[in-house]
């Protein structure tokens, strides 16, 4: 075991353990009465995995400001150390998703080794053609793949090819393409031509996909473009994926829908079309808020997982979703926010496992609306915290990750080690 990670998961306090054992026994007994095998549910949680975003390990910010915390990672290597802490405490995050060039490795082989020594691997790589980078020949001000200038489009395609090369050397198996392309004013660009250009560029990227890789297209309704985003909705994303071929699938970011969109329905449609590739988990109230998953709409999250668990049980063709987190941790400690996130995802996932599917299907057949809805609510209303705690404990992770993280003093130690060159020290009073 890496010394850095030693002692993170010390035995919980005796009374915490005793309380947990009682709560777990009560829940197990309750589930038994409902015909649910608690061990199977615990095993399902233990199999659940989600990737951590490299850009979610430092403190995020808005265009109004950023409030970094002491001891936050300064380098990609330090970000991986923090990601390893999240994995050690949850047992559920063995891979990191890199954003290129935000988190471009200087030495790919060395980084892969460093990650492996921390027990980590790499998930989808994310290309970034939404910002100009120093030394770049052409500007993305008017878009990347949709740009009217062929030289800009070429540059953007080449960036994606390079991103895949890096990903391949790291052992990743997919690329996520999110484009900021769009227009701010009616008339700024041709709505049809811009989409055709995006498809054409994606074809070039798709043609270079390494063996065994998948390409995910990620849609977003607005921001940074405010009038018309080129890949603005799941319909556009599906058109792209279907035109590209079998190894292209759609990625659903939970914050990338207009308010009140029925996301579980979108998920069901994509599953039906064998085109659900992956998720970016987060939560939102208004738009792409990047808040902690489950913090605002936990029932919605559960309903999404219900669709996922149904597809998993039915072993549907083409169903192999890649789960990732995409959040910006602006005022919480990023590690704590990720620990909360994973816990919320594990809870939503296992609640979906508790749904009595046979009963639900029966009620649907005879049109018993009340009982059908109640079947879902019975699962959602179950307090599954002892169950996910037990799953983590059996997997050698922490019963209560936040408590274990706070008790470890990890962040305080890093605040001493990771002194920023700017000498910035956050004010002590909050
Ligand atoms: C976008 C989108 C992408 C993410 C960037 C940082 O809104 O969610 O997935 O990589 O933000
Ligand atoms: Mn995203
Ligand atoms: Mn986003």
Q: How confident is the model at residue 422 (pLDDT cuts 50, 70, 90)?
A: low
- In our burial notation (b when 16+ CB lie closer than 10 A, e otherwise), range 230-259 reads bbbbbebbbbbbeebeebbbbbbbbbbbee
* pLDDT, position 152: 98
Is the pLDDT at 348 greater than 80, yes or no? yes
Reported as a single tens digit per residue, the pLDDT across 157-198 is 999 999 999 999 999 999 999 999 999 999 999 999 999 999
The residue to mutate among 326, 327, 328, 329, having the most atoms of ligand 1 within 8 angstroms of its beta carbon, is 326
Any atom of ligand 1 within 6 Å of the Cβ of 288: yes
Residue 404: HSE in the Cβ half-sphere, 13 Å Cα cutoff: 26
Confidence (pLDDT) at 318: 87
Provide the pLDDT for residue 428.
56
d(CA 224, CA 242): 26
Q: How far apart are CA 392 and CA 43, in angstroms?
A: 10
Mutate to test the pocket of ligand 1, among 220, 256, 284 (most ligand atoms within 8 A of CB): 220
How far does the centroid of ligand 2 lie from the alpha carbon of residue 220, in Å?
8
Tens of pLDDT, residue by residue over 28-42, are 999 999 999 999 999
DSSP 8-state secondary structure symbol assigned to residue 55: G
Select from 110, 133, 127 the least CA-distant residue to 165.
127
Mean per-residue pLDDT of the chain = 95
Task: Evaluate if residue 310 carries a pLDDT over 80.
Answer: yes
Query: Which pLDDT score, from 0 to 100, does residue 237 have?
Result: 98
Q: Which two tokens mark 376?
A: 């879902």
pLDDT digits (tens, 9 = 90+) for 281-297: 999 999 999 999 999 99
Give distance in angstroms: CA of 128 to centre of ligand 2.
Answer: 12
Checking DSSP bridges between strand 65-66 and strand 61-62, what pairing results, if any?
Answer: antiparallel
Q: What is the pLDDT of residue 317?
A: 86
The H or E element that residue 250 is part of is: strand 248-253
Specify the residue with its C-alpha closest to ligand 1, atom 2: 178
User: pLDDT for 52-95, tens place per residue?
Assistant: 999 999 999 998 999 999 999 999 999 999 999 999 999 999 99
pLDDT at residue 426 greater than cutoff 60: no
- Report the pLDDT value the prediction gives residue 2, as an integer from 0 to 100: 61
Q: What are the percentages of helix, strand and coil residues in the chain, rounded to 5?
A: 45, 10, 40
CB 290 less than 6 A from any atom of ligand 1: no
Predicted pLDDT at 35? 95
- 229: three-class secondary structure by DSSP: strand
- For the CA of 218, the closest atom of ligand 1 is 9
Residue 425's pLDDT band, with cuts at 50, 70 and 90, is low
Q: Determine which helix (DSSP H) or strand (DSSP E) holds 216, and give its type and residue range.
A: strand 214-218
pTM of the entire structure? 0.96
Pocket flag, ligand 1, residue 326 (CB < 6 Å): yes
Residues with CB under 5 Å of ion ligand 3 are 288
- Residues 323-344 have pLDDT tens digits of 999 999 999 999 999 999 999 9
Tokens 């290597």 map to which residue? 77
Give pLDDT tens digits for 362-414. 999 999 999 999 999 999 999 999 999 999 999 999 999 999 999 999 999 99
| 10 has a pLDDT exceeding 90 | no
User: Is the CB of residue 82 below 6 angstroms from any atom belonging to ligand 1?
Assistant: no
DSSP of 117-148: HTT-EE--EEE--SS--TT-SS--TT-STT-S
Nearby residues for ligand 2 (ion, Cβ within 5 Å): 253, 280, 326
- Proportion of the chain above pLDDT 90, given as a percent: 93
Does 390 sit in the ligand 1 pocket, CB within 6 Å? no
| Closest listed residue to residue 4, CA positions, set 412, 401, 410, 404 | 410
Distance 272 CA to ligand 1 centre (A): 25
Strands 228-229 and 182-183 turn out to be: antiparallel
Q: Is the CB of 280 under 6 A from ligand 1?
A: yes
Instruction: Out of 178, 215, 226, 257, give the residue to mutate to test ligand 1, the one with the largest number of ligand atoms within 8 Å of its CB.
Output: 178
Average pLDDT over every residue of 269-275? 98
422 or 371, which is more confident: 371
């Amino acid at each position: 075991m890496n010394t850095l990670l030693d002692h993170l998961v010390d035995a919980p306090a005796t009374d915490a353990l005793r309380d947990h054992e009682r709560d777990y026994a009560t829940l197990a007994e309750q589930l038994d009465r409902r015909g649910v095998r608690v061990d199977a549910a615990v095993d399902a949680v233990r199999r659940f995995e989600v990737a951590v975003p490299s850009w979610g390990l430092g403190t995020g910010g808005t265009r109004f400001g950023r409030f970094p915390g002491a001891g936050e990672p300064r380098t990609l290597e330090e970000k991986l150390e923090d990601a390893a802490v999240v994995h050690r405490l949850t047992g559920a995050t063995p891979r990191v998703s890199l954003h290129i060039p935000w988190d471009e490795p200087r030495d790919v082989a060395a980084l892969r080794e460093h990650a492996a020594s921390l027990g980590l691997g790499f998930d989808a790589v994310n290309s970034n053609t939404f910002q100009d980078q120093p030394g770049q020949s052409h500007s993305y001000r008017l878009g990347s793949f949709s740009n009217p200038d062929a030289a800009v489009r070429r540059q953007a395609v080449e960036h994606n090819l390079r991103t895949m090369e890096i990903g391949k050397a790291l052992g990743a198996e997919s690329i996520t393409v999110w484009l900021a392309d769009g227009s701010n004013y009616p008339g700024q660009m041709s709505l049809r031509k811009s989409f055709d250009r995006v498809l054409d560029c994606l074809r070039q990227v798709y043609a270079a996909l390494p063996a065994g890789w998948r390409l995910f297209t990620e849609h977003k309704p607005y921001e940074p473009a405010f009038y018309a985003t080129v890949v603005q909705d799941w319909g556009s994303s599906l058109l792209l994926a279907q035109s590209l071929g079998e190894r292209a699938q759609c990625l659903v970011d939970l914050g990338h829908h207009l308010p009140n969109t029925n996301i579980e329905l979108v998920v069901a449609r994509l599953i039906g079309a064998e085109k659900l590739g992956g998720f970016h988990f987060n939560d939102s109230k208004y738009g792409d808020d990047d808040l902690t998953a489950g913090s605002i709409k936990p029932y919605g999250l559960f309903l999404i997982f219900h669709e996922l668990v149904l597809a998993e049980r039915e072993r549907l063709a083409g169903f192999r979703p890649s789960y990732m987190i995409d959040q910006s941790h602006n005022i919480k400690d990023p590690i704590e926010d990720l620990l909360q996130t994973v816990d919320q995802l594990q809870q939503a996932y296992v609640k979906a496992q508790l749904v009595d599917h046979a009963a639900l299907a029966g009620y649907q057949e005879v049109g018993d609306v009340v009982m059908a809805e109640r079947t879902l609510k019975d699962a959602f209303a179950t307090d599954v915290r002892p169950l996910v705690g037990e799953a983590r404990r059996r997997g050698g992770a922490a019963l209560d990750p936040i408590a274990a993280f706070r008790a470890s003093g990890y962040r305080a130690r890093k605040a001493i080690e990771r002194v920023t060159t700017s000498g910035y020290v956050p004010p002590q009073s909050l």
